[in-house]
A and B are shown apart, each in its own frame.
Chain A
Amino acid sequence: MRGQALAIALVIASGIAMLVMSQATLESLRETRARLYSDYRLSHVWANVKRAPNSSAARIAELGGVNAVEARLRTAGKLRLPDFGDSIEAAVLSASEAGESGQNRLYLRSGRLLDAQADDEILVSDAFAQAHRLRPGARITLTVAGHSEVFTVVGVVASPEFLYQIKPGAMFPDYERYAIVWLNRRALEAALDMHGAFNELVLRLAPGASESDVIAAVDRQLERFGGRGAYGRGIQLSARFLDEEFRQLATMTKLFPTIFLAVAAFLLNVVFTRLIGIQRDQVAVLKAFGYHTRDVVLHYALLVVLICLLGAAIGLAGGIWLGKALAALYQLNFRFPFLDFSLSPGVALLGIGLTMIAALAGAGYAVFRAAGEPVAEAMRPPAPERYVKTRLERLWFARHAAQTTRMVLRQLERRPFKALLTIVGLALAGAIMMMAQLQLNAINYMTDMQYRLAQQQDMTATFTELASRDALGELRGLPGVRRVEGFRAVPVRLRRENHSVQTMIEGLPGDGVLRRPVDVDLRPVPMPASGLLINDFLAQRLGVVVGDRLWVEVLDGELQRFEIPVAQLTREYMGVQAYMELDALNDRLGDGDVLSGASLTVDEDSRAAVARALDKRPRVAGSELRLAAIDAVYKTISQMTDTFTWVAVIMGGVINFGVIYNSARIALAERGRELASLRVLGFTQGEVSYVLLGEQAVLVLLSIPLSFVAGYGLSWFLATNMQSDLYRVPVHVPPGAYAFAALVTIVSALLSALAVRRRIAGLDMIAVLKTRE
């Protein structure tokens, strides 16, 4: 009984640990985020503008619903470090001068904040500093608006605005090649020639104020200065990413423990029902001695509770430990400067309570049934079980099967419900393992699509401002460059009736080959000569189909509006992009034949040199090496997803083992007499094992295809619940995931077979001859 009790306890422990781990991670992250946002005063609304006088900020401060306003400068820059060849893009901000009462207060990780008088000091974001081991005192070169200057790092900071430090448009963060830096406003004013003006406004709302009303009012105020549309936390990149990540985590937090606990509860119910079924004679003996039914029930309840508590204790301890580890990992990923570990006891207690109820229900049913029989009746072993020939035996193979095979088939067919429950339990455990791998597989698939199919370029260069087509010739002249294609990215708001989405339209050349959106069958989609190409998710968000017309509000420079039909749909797992033929886009905007960047293919040997050459060009804001981007993607994925995946896979394995081992052990207990009789008749241990394990093997084999179906279903469910503007998780279950789930199931089955086989060797042949069936 010890091995079985432990196996059951481990299953409970897995369920509880999963629940506690997920819950603790989510709760801790939410608590920490809430504290960061409130203590470090994250803004509620951001507004970008081309150039607005400081006086306009004062007017906005007086708008109803606005609590505080800060005007600041923000621009894109390039950083250079002595020992790092790749180009580094940076968001450059003017540091708040409001001190403690300011918005988006910086959390100082090391060093100090800027000296208000010093123009050569810089603060750098923690992730970037860590990636390059930058410490206060380090010197870095910053290029802003074509002007390079050397700065001294005085502090490494975290900001509630940039918890998730990701470059706009990127899929995953790349801390080596993207930084956020803060300068004194005076220094940045000089570099951008923005004296007395600002280009970004951040504001906090008064309690109860309507965000959309304030945004509309701010947009009206800034329109004449080249406002690019104000937005709230729901759109702000870091806040939005965190929202999405938390939402996905919340989905997994609900889904995984629910399945784990459901399987555990199911298993407990079955195991205890059968376990006590075997002990009915002991129940009868206790009753014969004068124990009341309730005493007997109490006795077994205590046993059940003890096993549950053991499992719950292991699960709780393991869950807290894993939760801390996982939350710490997420903390790293989200760059939370601290983590408030938090676990509300209610959830853990609920989980423990549910497993206990399931176990007690199973045990209670069996005990009451045993206790309900007249004592003498129960002390006698049950009458021989009734059997019939099975339907399977009409098949040829079964008619010619050995008697031992017949025993297996009849056992299975006599209790089809029991067999089905075992199969379902096993299938769910296998399905959990497939589902756990969904993220990892899906992300691999997404990056593959994004980078190998839709984007064939080796490098991307972004210009600081719109450039004429001549710029391409210049790039083509660089040694090693083989192909250059220009593009133009325009920030827009797309509207259709009451739906609106803020995004980018990318203008791509009609004859281009490097950037090619792909359709659902992964075939490149030709760029329509006119009209808009949008991805399926955006179409769904806007409620449009091909042929519908959309309003486009340009959020760059002068506010322009135009209406355009949707020409074609494409499939993308990331973002909500829209595409147009480059010339058609330029025609619409009417500002000439211009580009905002270029895609390049470059000989492998020349890539570093081209990157350096681009870096030196003042009008190139940044260049991105495609392989570096892919590397970054994989690094990030492996850090976070692996942990969760492996925890889920291991626990799935534990459940799998628990189901099979208990099923085999109970079968052994129920059929020990029969098997010992076969041993007496001269059957070898192997032949007897076949009778017992053959039944388990059939159940295991039948469970595997079912686990594939269930695994795909759960993956689909998870993917559907995880889709967002930022990315959709494709339901991509590669053959390896099926194979893995099947393999773990089979290995668990073999391990429990080995464990049970040892017990078959120890069957007491003499004892069974002395007892009546």
Chain B
Amino acid sequence: MIADEATPTSRDDVIFRAEGLTKTYRMGDVEVQALRGVDLQLYRGEFVVLLGPSGSGKSTLLNILGGLDVPTSGSVWYHGEDITRANDTQLTQFRREHVGFVFQFYNLIPSLTARENVAIVTEIAEKPLAPEAALTLVGLGARFDHFPSQLSGGEQQRVAIARAIAKRPVVMLCDEPTGALDSATGVQVLQALEQANRDLQTTTVVITHNADIARMADRVLTMANGRIVEERRNTARISAAELRW
């Protein structure tokens, strides 16, 4: 069991505040309502799991929070700045300085080694960890000079996590980080996320289908049909190492 350290207490700890977010996609002649009015606050250092079936709007919400997409209506404030009104350059800067991403399919650069995949981010960050330190943090101390094609899926995902944490982001957004991995490997990846969240006080949002993973979160949000339909707070987080599915 881990103590419930990250429970927010004051408004100052709010990092993200989203209000009335809607998102409508046009796919050919069909309109898809991905978000139908989402209100949300994220607090410093908390670990949030976002559950919900496919098409419930989880990824859309994450993309908007990360500055990869813009809502059709509504606003997102990051530290009081409305990022929905930012232009491409400002959003690029926002992602560069404040957000770490981890994706289901790793999105590593195949031509760079593990160390270089991390270095590519630390080179453009202000006060980064050394690439080697970030890789050691996720348990890849022995694989610095391996190319992605020489690493297993779990190892590749841990490189992706090292890449996300190396710039010491304020928030880490993870979209199905274990989706492509078997259970044992998935646990290793979650342990890496957990450690970054704990050691670097990084607010972490993890999207998953897997309800078991919710047990390691401070807070669990469940989405359906473009809305947050349930919010619950875990009274006690369990460690990632205890997870099995």
Residues of A whose CB lies within 8 Å of any CB of B are 383-389, 402-404, 406-407, 410-411, 414, 673-674, 677-685, 687, 765-766, 768-773
How would residues 81 to 119 of chain B score, 1 for a CB under 8 Å from any chain A CB and 0 otherwise? 000000011001111110101011111111111001101
Q: How far is the CA of A406 from the CA of B147 in the complex (A)?
A: 13
How would residues 112 to 137 of chain B score, 1 for a CB under 8 Å from any chain A CB and 0 otherwise? 11001101110110000000000000
- Say whether B110 contacts A674, CB under 8 Å: yes
Q: How far is the CA of A678 from the CA of B93 in the complex (A)?
A: 13
Q: Which of B103, B112, B180 contacts A407 (CB 8 A)?
A: B112
A770 cross-chain contacts in B, Cβ below 8 A: 59, 104
> When A402-B123, A403-B116, A772-B180 are in contact, do A385 and B110 touch as well, CB less than 8 Å?
yes
- Say whether A682 contacts B69, CB under 8 Å: no
Q: How far is the CA of A679 from the CA of B123 in the complex (A)?
A: 15
> When A383-B149, A387-B147 are in contact, do A773 and B110 touch as well, CB less than 8 Å?
yes
Q: How far is the CA of A766 from the CA of B103 in the complex (A)?
A: 11
Task: Give the interface centre of A402, A680, A681 by most chain B CB atoms within 10 Å.
Answer: A681
Instruction: Give 20 new A-B contacts, CB below 8 A, not counting A403-B109, A683-B96.
Output: A385-B149, A403-B117, A403-B119, A403-B120, A411-B111, A674-B109, A678-B109, A680-B66, A680-B95, A680-B101, A681-B96, A681-B101, A681-B121, A682-B92, A682-B96, A682-B97, A683-B92, A769-B68, A769-B101, A771-B105
- Say whether A384 contacts B148, CB under 8 Å: yes
Instruction: Give chain B's interface residue range (CB within 8 Å of chain A).
Output: 35 or more
- Say whether B109 contacts A677, CB under 8 Å: yes
Say whether B46 faces chain A, with CB atoms less than 8 Å apart: no
B108 cross-chain contacts in A, Cβ below 8 A: 384, 677
Q: How far is the CA of A698 from the CA of B180 in the complex (A)?
A: 37
B97 cross-chain contacts in A, Cβ below 8 A: 682
Say whether B194 faces chain A, with CB atoms less than 8 Å apart: no
A673 cross-chain contacts in B, Cβ below 8 A: 107
Q: Which of A386, A387, A404, A765 contacts B68 (CB 8 A)?
A: A765
- Say whether A403 contacts B112, CB under 8 Å: yes
Can you name 25 A-B pairs with beta carbons within 8 Å? A384-B108, A384-B148, A385-B111, A387-B111, A388-B147, A402-B123, A403-B112, A403-B116, A404-B120, A414-B111, A674-B109, A680-B68, A681-B121, A682-B92, A682-B94, A682-B97, A682-B99, A683-B92, A687-B124, A765-B68, A768-B107, A769-B175, A770-B59, A771-B105, A772-B104
Say whether B63 faces chain A, with CB atoms less than 8 Å apart: yes
B66 cross-chain contacts in A, Cβ below 8 A: 680
> When A385-B149, A773-B105 are in contact, do A679 and B92 touch as well, CB less than 8 Å?
yes
B101 cross-chain contacts in A, Cβ below 8 A: 680-681, 769
- Say whether A681 contacts B147, CB under 8 Å: no
Q: How far is the CA of A383 from the CA of B148 in the complex (A)?
A: 10
Identify the 5 closest CB pairs spanning chains A and B, nearest first: A682-B96, A403-B120, A682-B95, A677-B107, A410-B111
Task: Give the interface centre of B66, B117, B124 by most chain A CB atoms within 10 Å.
Answer: B124
Q: How far is the CA of A687 from the CA of B147 in the complex (A)?
A: 22
Q: How far is the CA of A244 from the CA of B7 in the complex (A)?
A: 94
- Say whether A406 contacts B95, CB under 8 Å: no
From residue B77, how far is it (CB to closest CB) to chain A in Å? 20
Q: How far is the CA of A769 from the CA of B109 in the complex (A)?
A: 13
From residue B144, how far is it (CB to closest CB) to chain A in Å? 12
- Say whether A766 contacts B124, CB under 8 Å: no
Q: Which of B88, B110, B113, B120 contacts A681 (CB 8 A)?
A: B120
